[in-house]
Amino acid sequence: MEKIWLEKSYPPGVPYEIDPDKYASIVDMFHKYTKVYAERSAFINMGAEISYRELAEQATAFAAYLQNDLGLVKGDKFAIMVPNCLQYPIALFGALIAGLTVVNVNPLYTARELEHQLKDSNTKAILIIQNFASILEKVLDKTPVEKVILTSLGDRLGTVKGAVVNGVVKYVKKMVPAFNIANTISFNKALVKGYKSTFVPVELQGEDLAFLQYTGGTTGVSKGAMLTHRNMVANLEQAKAAIKPQLEEGKELVVTALPLYHIFALTANCLTFITLGGTNLLITNPRDMPGFVKELARYPFTAITGVNTLFNGLLNTPGFSDLNFANLKLSLGGGMAVQRPVAEKWESVTNTRLLEGYGLTECAPLVTLCPYNQAHYSGSIGLPASSTDIRIVKEDGSLAGVDEAGEMLVKGPQVMKGYYNRQEATDEILKDGWLATGDVACMDENGFFKIVDRKKDMIIVSGFNVFPNEIEEIVASNEGVLEVAAIGVPHEASGEVVKIFVVRKDPNLTEKDLIAHCRENLTNYKVPKLVEFRDDLPKTNVGKILRRELR
């Protein structure tokens, strides 16, 4: 497929290629910028701040603890199971500095999911928030984990505030179920021990594994994507190249509400903004929308990332529209399709464009992004990132032409090494460097790409392909709708019919109203035949609606 996007549409200041070997490793990058921006604030959480200098010092102390007290060596797997709090970046960079492979774990995992990930990854040690230690206790003896480091939400907030936060969490809100795990150590004590130890530098290369980043398991068992230091360096350089013309080094504050254990925020917020000397404002509980808005009111934030449901939630929270958006330059949406009604309302309220991007765990994750100079929401996922090639392949294996739909294949330095210990699964989607995404897409004459839908989510009505994204966007444009998901359900006559699940914004909205609205905007076979109203919709930890659970 010819890279027509380069000559026709690439915005000024964005290079065609990046250098994936600019840094020998993420650690090399980290050491460079923590020196350059030593006095700048690196992370803020619940009013507490940590500078780049302090982050480097504490991460190195944690690395020394991992080496000396736990005896972990280069290549060992270390799991981090905490929400957005200051402990996360300290532990993340400490583990990487020690040469370990980080296994990010969703704190909301069930015991079954946790057991699978720890066993599958062969994790040796874990840092876990006490709130979920009772889950770990249930499966610990079935896993290879040898050491458990415990932390509480307030551990890095200072002596007084930390004690208050921990007391409220444990005794007032009762958010820490009883557990009994032997031979644990607290995160703070581990740091103290680390400061008293000698750290031995570890030599890292681009092909060394930085992360085992587990997919959500939407297509079978959850698999660990092997992301090397080179993969991650490439992707943060690709992300930086795409957004840097809008930003100023040493002057940015990015709102990080998506969890850092998720690949989107890990790369787009944590890693990329470190190279810009930016400050990450960590939001521990973005589901508390009123609290989230209060936190935003305290800071002159310049960038924010999120998924469609997060942006929609903010727009529907009292007080959000009254915030000062004078400093906001960049709003990035990904993880799921950004719906036009949400994007257009975001633009009218904040006076900034909501730029949609596309990525996947296997690509660290960025693949495409709308150009920074785009005037308004376009409905596309934008242009391929620097050094990224894309093919659209039709069912018969031939290359699709302009505006023809087919499966998107991606090639670039950000594409994973493969799935950990799953060669067969790797071979299914990775051939000659090309990653089969499982997404149906098309490219227009200017090189802009658009996701039509996931292949597995496609609804087939009387032989016609119906894409849930299209249905959801039309339904969401009704002012009485807060959230919507569309699926196909079996039908004797047509094979399948469209069913929609709707969370109402207007309690008076009826099934008849929605069907009429759809009939005005969709051809007959696409019009939903079934409507189910719900109080909420099932979502992943980052807010992506789970159609498979609804099916």
Residue pLDDT, tens place only, 267-283? 999 999 999 999 999 99
**The domain over range 4-17+230-454 is classified in CATH as 3.20.190.10:** no
Q: What does the pLDDT read at residue 501?
A: 98
Q: What does the pLDDT read at residue 197?
A: 96
Query: Rounded mean pLDDT of 508-537?
Result: 94
pLDDT of residue 290 exceeding 70, the answer is yes
**The domain over range 458-550 is classified in CATH as 3.30.300.30:** yes
pLDDT of residue 220 exceeding 70, the answer is no
Q: How many of the other CB atoms lie within 10 Å of CB of 366? A: 29
State the chain's mean pLDDT as an integer.
94
Query: Rounded mean pLDDT of 387-408?
Result: 95
Q: What does the pLDDT read at residue 321?
A: 97
Residue 526: phi, psi to the nearest 5?
-90, -15
Query: Rounded mean pLDDT of 21-34?
Result: 98
More confident site: 1 or 99: 99
pLDDT tens digits along 137-150: 999 999 999 999 99
The model's pTM:
0.90
User: How many residues are there in the chain?
Assistant: 551
pLDDT tens digits along 98-108: 999 999 998 98
Decide whether 50-204 matches 458-550 in CATH topology.
no
Query: Rounded mean pLDDT of 235-254?
Result: 97
Q: What does the pLDDT read at residue 218?
A: 37
More confident site: 493 or 58: 58
More confident site: 36 or 106: 36
Query: Rounded mean pLDDT of 94-99?
Result: 98
Long-range contacts of 402-407 (CB under 8 A, 24+ apart): 402/443, 402/444, 402/445, 403/442, 403/443, 403/444, 403/445, 404/442, 405/440, 405/441, 405/442, 405/452, 406/440, 406/441, 406/442, 407/436, 407/437, 407/438, 407/439, 407/440, 407/441, 407/455
pLDDT tier for residue 216 given thresholds of 50, 70 and 90: low
Q: How far is CA 369 from CA 352, 372, 406, in A?
A: 16, 9, 19
pLDDT of residue 534 exceeding 90, the answer is yes
Q: Which amino acid is at 252?
A: E
pLDDT of residue 322 exceeding 60, the answer is yes
pLDDT of residue 89 exceeding 60, the answer is yes
Q: What does the pLDDT read at residue 219?
A: 44
Q: What does the pLDDT read at residue 453?
A: 77
pLDDT of residue 58 exceeding 80, the answer is yes
Cross-strand partners of 185: 149
CATH architecture of 50-204: 3-Layer(aba) Sandwich (3.40)
Domain boundaries, the chain: 4-17+230-454, 50-204, 458-550
Closest by CA to 76, choosing from 233, 213, 231, 208, is 208
Q: How far is CA 25 from CA 29, 204, 276, 361, 419, in A?
A: 7, 6, 17, 19, 20
Q: What does the pLDDT read at residue 495?
A: 83
